[in-house]
């Protein structure tokens, strides 16, 4: 099932309180790991990160062991997500509301099939952007463009 968190710090707090057993798959990028690790032991933490030096260095600086780092290129398929849940004995997965392009559908389906919880970090509301023309899908973008011409 999906549990919503306000932030990555909040996700770490929820894990510490509600999921004290099992491992944590972090599928939300290298820049958000530090906030989760404020409340989750690195021994249980398995981040899936882009295979770039900056991300790997960030893991090392946070004390994440090499065998806990899952290097990737792009979004994972349903089968790949299921394999990772099984391989790392995960009890919970962290992701962010990233839409189809971020593979969120496959993550939700994998978590459901393996009966683990998915911690979903909500997209932040940025007040400065409320006055602007913002679109979330290509269809919305096409409609905005059509209105201009």
pTM of the full predicted structure? 0.80
Residue for token digits 């011409």? 149
Q: pLDDT (tens digit, 0 to 9) for every residue of the chain, 149 residues total? A: 899 999 999 999 999 999 999 999 999 989 999 999 999 999 999 999 988 899 999 999 999 999 999 998 777 889 999 999 999 999 999 998 766 666 788 999 999 999 999 999 987 665 665 666 677 788 888 887 887 77
- Could you tell me which residues come within 8 angstroms of residue 40 by beta carbon, excluding any fewer than 6 positions away? 12, 15, 16, 24
CATH number reported for the structural domain that contains residue 8 in this entry: 3.40.50
Range of the structural domain that residue 40 is part of: 2-148
Contact 38, 67 (CB under 8 A): no
12 in Cβ contact with 34 (< 8 Å): no
Whole-angstrom Cα distance, residue 86 to residue 73?
20
Number of structural domains the chain divides into:
1
């Amino acid at each position: 099932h999906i549990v919503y968190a306000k932030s990555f710090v909040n996700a770490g707090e929820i894990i510490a309180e509600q999921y004290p057993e099992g491992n944590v798959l972090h599928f939300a990028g290298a820049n958000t790991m530090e906030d989760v690790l404020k409340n989750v032991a690195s021994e249980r933490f398995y981040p899936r990160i882009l295979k770039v030096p900056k991300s790997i260095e960030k893991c090392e600086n946070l004390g994440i062991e090499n065998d806990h780092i899952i290097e990737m290129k792009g979004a994972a398929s349903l089968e790949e997500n299921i394999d990772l849940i099984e391989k790392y004995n995960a009890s919970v997965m962290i992701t962010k509301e990233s839409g189809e392009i971020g593979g969120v559908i496959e993550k939700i389906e994998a978590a459901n099939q393996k009966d683990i919880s998915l911690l979903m970090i909500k997209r932040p509301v940025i007040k400065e952007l409320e006055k602007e023309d913002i679109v979330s899908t290509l269809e919305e973008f096409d409609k905005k463009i059509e209105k201009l011409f």
